[in-house]
Amino acid sequence: MADPMKIRANVIGDSTEVKVLMNHEMETGQRKDAQGTTIPAWFIQNVKVTHNDKVVLAAQWGPAVAKNPFLSFKFKGGAKGDKVKITWVDNHNDTRTDEVAIA
């Protein structure tokens, strides 16, 4: 089972700044292990961020996003206590959703 994300959402002026770290190998499928066997690709493909059920960011990723991905962005509005929810889905169809209250 995937590990939790580390999400921060803070009101800055009239926007909310979201910063997230995700636990994921982001294996490219191009690396070989010590025995020379290719390590299969394993990476997050879709990310969706919602604020009060409205999508504020949606992304498609390839394996070139770095291991343990980091993402930071801002959306207009958002009040302290509102929920910011983030979901990712990887190519194994594993998924993880975490949410945080805006601080």
Partner 1 sequence: MDTSRRQALKGGGGITLFALLAAAGWLAPEDAAGADAWNKNAFETKSMDETMKALGGGTPAQSKDITFFSTPDIAENGAVVPIGITSAVPKTESIAIMVEKNPNMLAAVFEIPAGTEPTLSTRIKMAQTSNVYALVKADGKYYVASKEIKVTLGGCGG
Partner 2 sequence: MERRNRRPFAAVIAVAAFGVAIGGAFAQTSAVDEIAKYRAALQDGNPAELWEARGEELWTKPHGPRQVAFTRCDLGLGPGVVKGAYAQLPRYFPDANRVMDLETRLVWCMVNQQGLSQADATKNTFGNGSQQRSDIEALAAYVTSQSRGTTMNVSLDDPHMRDMYALGEKMFFYRGGTHDFACSTCHGDDGKRIRLQDLPNLTKTEGAQKAYTTWPAYRVSQGELRTFQWRLNDCFRQQRFPELEFGSDASIALTAYLAARANGAAYDGPAIKR
Footprint on this chain of partner 2 (rule: CB under 8 A):
3-4, 6, 19, 21, 23, 25, 28, 30-32, 66-68, 70, 72
Q: How far apart are the first and last CA of the chain?
A: 28
Binding partner at 3 among partner 1, partner 2, none, C-beta below 5 to 8 Å by kind = partner 2
Minimum CB separation from partner 2 for residue 11, in Å? 18
Binding mask 7-36 for partner 1 (x = CB under 8 A): --------x----------x-x-x------
Dist. CA 49–CA 18, nearest whole Å: 9
The interface with partner 1 within residues 80-99 (CB under 8 A) comprises 89, 91
- Chain centroid, CA 62 distance in Å: 13
By the 8 A CB rule, do 87 and 57 touch? Answer: no
Binding partner at 77 among partner 2, partner 1, none, C-beta below 5 to 8 Å by kind = partner 1
Q: Which string of b and e fits 45-61 if b means at least 16 CB within 10 Å?
A: bebebbbeeeebbeeeb
Binding partner at 6 among partner 2, partner 1, none, C-beta below 5 to 8 Å by kind = partner 2
The pair of three-digit structure tokens given for residue 3, joined into one six-digit string: 């590990």
